[in-house]
Structure 1
């Protein structure tokens, strides 16, 4: 039975009570969009609440709950298929006119209006880079335009997600404006090409370093502790705090990941150590033999933990089998 408002006020828990009630109201409002019958949602929440002891549902209640969950999932799947969370951004991307070949970006349309307290030019572009390169190209182009075209009052010099430029026209003549935009477009292409070339060079260098490291590790991998599954340089998406050196732990090693991290942190050769799931990232990026020495220093601790854990599991299983066999003998089954 819910407490009265007077009782809640006396206990000093009015804000807490109101927050909980608001959360329940929000849940009920959301449920109405997915539940065939809001009453079924209220019933389902009641029978699955933490206050109910487990295992008391009847067969009819189980079937009723299964029907509720089934139709909830059907309506949720239909909702997910039709819902577009980033509708505006997707619409902007659809309006872009990406390049099909090697032609550089160029102006495709111009519209001047009296928006934003002055004349504003909306300049459409075509042959713009593909989606994977658009953001960095737009960053370069926006920076060049801001540097090249002086502001005029409450100026707007922005690149839209659709690949259009929105620029407030100041004291520049149309010819000067056109020349500056062409110049900015040409410079942006050069900056993008340089950036992509530098990124490709960095990627090749990282791949070569990763291959060389893996080769050195393979020569001595048999000497590494059993709880080490593999060692190598992580990919760009997995780099943590600037560290590429990743130690993948085995199943036993993962169970004692915290102990391994603490032990490695105490090693003089380790400046930084962080565990994420079944991986441990280390700084500095030691060569395989240096890393082997650091890992061997904490191997005895981990090995002892693993032995104790397996011994406990063995004793537990033996005890369970013994009791089971005794019960079977007494019951003659």
Structure 2
């Protein structure tokens, strides 16, 4: 089944799509409310009268995720981003992720503002899995029952801001803070069963276009971990909840401009007026047009040299004991 959230006549609705792309409204205010019972909720809605056709509405992001973990699971992407420096050994140990901004989520066809102060804007072609059931310390086998479905994910990135911030040893921060697109709908796992390989990965064709020109393509099955393994890792020592989003990370072979730059390409960064379209086999298409963003409101630099406050002198300690009395 395919599930959508949309705006029609000033109201927000959730619905399941039928084979003719008509929307059948669900008895739920939010898709998150029914993630643990999607098949039943969808069947009940399909038994009722259809609503508008998908072409008559404004599609929104399928859900408002409480958290977003974006992984980096494509080895080729890591190689390209590092400009020939090789893949860090730690990358092979576990599916690393960072937390994205759930308040920056855009719909599948929304305009995308330039991040303030950025001149090297980029897209990222990804697929996301959505958690449907809460869990903690899951095994990959258990995690399969906790995945509600899949959608397309564009992790828009200000590469100049990201590069500068990460020299501090943190991040990405503002480099990933302005926009993140999800959609066009949430596709349940049974819809993609025919694409599943023996090791659990999904063999879906991925394509990225800028202004109608193909700039990247890959297979989702080139991920080095399955979504079930990623969810198991995400749940280690903590709770994952319905609506949490797990991004696959950017695919290889031109899944973003920065990878092309890392391999010596000279394609320009995105500018206002550029349209990016991402296509994922079995799911659909996600598109966004870049528009001007807000102006930078300057901040003063850090107050350091010449303004450091006096610090107390550390008290000497006895080896293995409490601080010694002042002499």
Higher helix proportion (structure 1 or 2) = 1
Q: Which bin holds the TM-score, normalised by the shorter protein? A: under 0.3
Of Structure 1 and Structure 2, which has the larger fraction of its residues in strand? 2
TM, length-normalised to structure 2: 0.18
Q: Larger C-alpha radius of gyration, 1 or 2? A: 1
Q: Which has the higher contact order (CA 8 A, sep 6+)?
A: 2
Instruction: Report the TM-score, using the length of structure 1 for normalisation.
Output: 0.18
